[in-house]
């Protein structure tokens, strides 16, 4: 069915293990043979500053930014993710990324797949290449001078705080949010969503398991997905549902597609 365009939907994508198939930090460190050292140091150093340290070590070993870019370009992405993003954008949705990855990794991968023009906003940990030619990575929230105070999120970024800002920016326009994610740091923003919104947790990943423990805590409609093909199908179904509701000027929940709806997804998926 041909769906009409809508300007009433904001789609917020996580990046690691959502747009791409794995964690971008893990991918890069694994390809450079540095993953074991990273996890040896992780118990004593927070993830974000540790990645900054690992970039320094890779630089000292002779790895250049060109080397890093080439590895990032090979990061696995399901072949239906790009078409899903393109289709959602073509239907008039406002697409954004909210990620605990660093901006350089994220933008390099998104640009490589030709998707950089589809997103109106990207929120991620700041990063830049310094005068020595190595990548520096900083926290989104400075947890030393201005901690975000959320016990659900890592110290460097509270996605819930960022999502609340997005909600304030689009709230007066009555737009509805579809949030896609997989990890524990996607749970906080999922709790911020409203009844008219949707959350798409990746099945059998941490966010899905956290929601499964007590689905009633999440006000938004819950639609699970397992891979890029299912993400594309479910996302376009949700967009279609919202378009029908707009057309009929109703938000009657009985019109929702039953295949992945609310508690059915949580209870029936394996």
Rounded to 5°, angle at Cα 136 from 119 and 47: 85
227 carries a ligand binding annotation: no
Helix (H, G, I), strand (E, B) or coil at 237: helix
Q: Is 14 annotated as a binding residue?
A: yes
**Mode of pairing for the β-strands spanning 127-129 and 135-137:** antiparallel
CA-based nearest residue to 65, from 33, 110, 32: 32
Report how far apart, in Å, the C-alpha atoms of 24 and of each of 87, 171, 237, 260 are.
Answer: 24, 32, 28, 28
Could you give the CA distance from residue 231 to residue 95 in angstroms, rounded to a whole number?
15
Whether 182 has a binding-site annotation, put simply, is yes
Residues annotated as catalytic are: 14, 16
- Interatomic CA distance for residues 138 and 136, integer angstroms: 7
- Calpha distance 18→202 (Å, rounded): 8
CA geometry: angle at 93 spanning 88 and 94, to 5°?
Answer: 120
Binding residue numbers for Mg(2+)? 14, 16, 182
Binding residue numbers for substrate? 25, 100
Binding residue numbers? 14, 16, 25, 100, 182
């Amino acid at each position: 069915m041909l769906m009409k365009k809508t300007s009433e939907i904001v789609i917020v994508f996580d990046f690691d293990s959502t747009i791409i198939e794995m964690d971008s930090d893990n991918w890069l460190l694994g390809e450079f043979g540095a993953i074991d050292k990273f996890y040896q140091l992780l118990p004593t150093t927070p993830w974000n500053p540790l990645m900054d340290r690992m970039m320094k070590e890779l630089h000292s070993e002779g790895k250049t930014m060109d080397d890093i870019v080439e590895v990032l370009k090979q990061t696995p992405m399901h072949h239906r993710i790009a078409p899903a993003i393109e289709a959602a954008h073509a239907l008039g949705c406002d697409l954004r990324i909210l990620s605990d990855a660093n901006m350089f990794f994220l933008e390099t991968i998104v640009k490589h797949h030709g998707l950089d023009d589809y997103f109106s906003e990207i929120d991620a940990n700041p990063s830049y290449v310094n005068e020595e030619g190595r990548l520096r990575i900083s926290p989104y929230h400075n947890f030393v001078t201005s901690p975000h105070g959320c016990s659900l999120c890592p110290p460097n970024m509270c996605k819930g705080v960022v999502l609340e800002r997005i909600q304030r920016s689009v709230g007066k326009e009555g737009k509805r949010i579809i949030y896609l994610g997989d990890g524990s740091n996607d749970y906080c923003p999922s709790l911020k969503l409203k009844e008219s919104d949707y959350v798409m947790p990746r099945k059998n990943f941490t966010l899905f398991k956290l929601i499964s423990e007590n689905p009633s805590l999440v006000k938004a409609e819950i639609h699970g997905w397992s891979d890029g093909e299912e993400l594309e199908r479910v996302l376009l179904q949700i967009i279609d549902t919202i378009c029908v509701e707009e057309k009929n000027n109703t938000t009657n929940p009985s019109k929702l597609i039953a295949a992945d709806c609310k508690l059915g997804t949580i209870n029936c998926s394996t």
